[in-house]
Amino acid sequence: MLELLALGDTGWGDELLRGAGMTVIVAVLSFVTGVAIGMTGAGAKLSGSLLLRAVAEIYTTVARGVPELLIIYLFAFGLNPIAQNIAALVGYTERIDFDPFTIGVVAVATISGAYSTEVLRGAILTIPRGQIEAARAVGMHRWLVFRRIMLPQVMRFALPGLGNVWQLTLKDTALVSVIPLTELMRAAFRASGSTREPFIFLLAAYALYLVMTSFSTVAFERAERHFGRGVRRA
């Protein structure tokens, strides 16, 4: 049975590994985009503007309250038409066709971003208001306050939460297999279909996911230690 997992032409091992590579790429891109969305979203949620707050609130409620799969379908079927409509507004009338990769990253980033928004909002709120006032009083402008005072602390407070978001994102990438994008899940499924030996391939794919999630746990622990250096623990 194990020869089915061989690398090269005789087995499906290399297809699975390539799928795992695609999973990592989609997960990293979605996560990073999600954190960027999260920064914006957290800023919007904490801003004085009622409109911004409402938009951010609707976004996080919908993206976290609706099944991930439904959101994937929304982007799979809906991203091209809406892009077409927007493009038509500026006079671009040619056909727009996003590939499954782009659709997958946009969809997973949208989900990931909603969770990041909440994590980052919580982290920003833990910074004592006095620090920001003090920095402003010293004469730092807004951007400098953000970069020097807020960001280093937000990173530290948000890391455990972002670690959870990363794990969610990594596992959510399995859903883009329905788009269809050949990441680890789909690679395993295709191998199962052509050999009629689903057990071994699904098991191998599962093992690869476990390797990825365990590795991430260690990496985030390291990062937490790095950003927590110089802080005495309770």
Partner 1 sequence: MDLELMVRSAPAIAAGLPMTLGLVVLSLLIGFVLAVVIAQMRLSRYPVLSRFAAGYVFVIRGGPLLLQFYFIYYGLSQFRPFWEGIGAWPVLREAFWCAVIALALNTAAYTSEIIRGGILSVPHGSVEAARACGMSRLLVFRRIVLPIAFRQALPAYGNEVILMVKATSLASIITIMEMTGIAKKLISQTFAVYEVFIVAGAIYLLINFLLTRVVKYAEWRLTPYLRERPAPASTAAAP
Taking the complex as a whole, the smallest distance from the CB of residue 170 to partner 1 amounts, in Å, to 8
> 184 is written with which tokens?
């680890």
Among 198, 219, 225, 226, binds partner 1 (CB under 8 A): 198
Taking the complex as a whole, the smallest distance from the CB of residue 73 to partner 1 amounts, in Å, to 5
Taking the complex as a whole, the smallest distance from the CB of residue 133 to partner 1 amounts, in Å, to 33
Residues between 48 and 77 with contacts to partner 1, criterion CB under 8 A: 61-62, 65-70, 73-74, 77
Taking the complex as a whole, the smallest distance from the CB of residue 42 to partner 1 amounts, in Å, to 20
Report whether 59 contacts 45 (CB < 8 A): no
Using CA atoms, how far apart are residues 65 and 67, in angstroms rounded to an integer? 7
* Residue count, binding to partner 1 (CB under 8 A): 36
Q: Which stretch binds partner 1 (CB under 8 A): 4-12, 88-96, 102-110, 208-216?
A: 208-216
Q: Quick check: 185 binds partner 1 (CB under 8 A)?
A: yes
Q: Quick check: 214 binds partner 1 (CB under 8 A)?
A: yes
| CA dist list (Å): 37 to 98, 106, 115, 204 | 20, 11, 10, 34
Ordered DSSP codes for 87-115: HHHTT--S-----HHHHHHHHHHHHHHHH
| CA dist list (Å): 81 to 18, 70, 75, 107, 153 | 31, 17, 10, 15, 41
Residues at the site binding partner 1, with contacts judged by CB under 8 A: 61-62, 65-70, 73-74, 77-78, 81, 171-175, 177-178, 185, 188-189, 192, 196-199, 202-203, 205-206, 209-210, 213-214
